[in-house]
Every structure is written in structure tokens, then in C-alpha cells.
Structure 1
Amino acid sequence: MTDRYGDHCGILYADTGAVPVCAALGPWVGLAANPDTTATLIEIHERVDPR
């Protein structure tokens, strides 16, 4: 399942629960362990790499 988080996109892998996240323009953000940690991953990425 694909989901949009503002300027970021995530794809939920139902078999593992992991959510790979990319910025809408393509750069890799990271892999969230589960959907609940996606927002935290995006917040950290925005502080470290505020493009």
C-alpha cells in the first residue's frame, strides 16, 4: 500500500510491516520499522537534510 506524507511517500510491506520512505522528488529517507515510526523518521530527515 502506498501512502503520502506531505512531501514524502511510503510503501507499506504487509508481510514485514516495514515502510521504506522517499522524498517526493526521489531522495531516499530511510526504512521505518513500522507505520507508527514513519512520522518520526520523516521529522529526523527534515532536521538533518532540510531540502
Structure 2
Amino acid sequence: MIAAGPSNKQIARKLDISQNTAKFHVTSLFNKLGINSRAQAVALQQRIP
């Protein structure tokens, strides 16, 4: 979903979770991948086949 560009609020709405929960999961994903931004997530996703 992050690569498609939605905000945490939009992700939360689509998954029927709170905005804070969506933010927590996005932040957790960024930490695990060693990245700091959505742009880095998209760049990383494009490098993985």
C-alpha cells in the first residue's frame, strides 16, 4: 500500500484500523527495513523483483 502513496489515514480507513495503529505499523516496517521515508520504501520495493 505504501508504494501506491496513501497516507496513514487512508491506510487506516482501508484496513479498518485506527490511524495510530497504521502509523505504528508503517514506522515498524521502516525500522525493520532501515529506511526513513515512503520514498525510500518505494525505491526499495522497485529494486526487489
Common fold by TM > 0.5: no
Computing the radius of gyration from Cα coordinates, the structure with the larger value is: 2
Q: Per residue, is there more helix in 1 or in 2?
A: 2
Q: Per residue, is there more strand in 1 or in 2?
A: 1
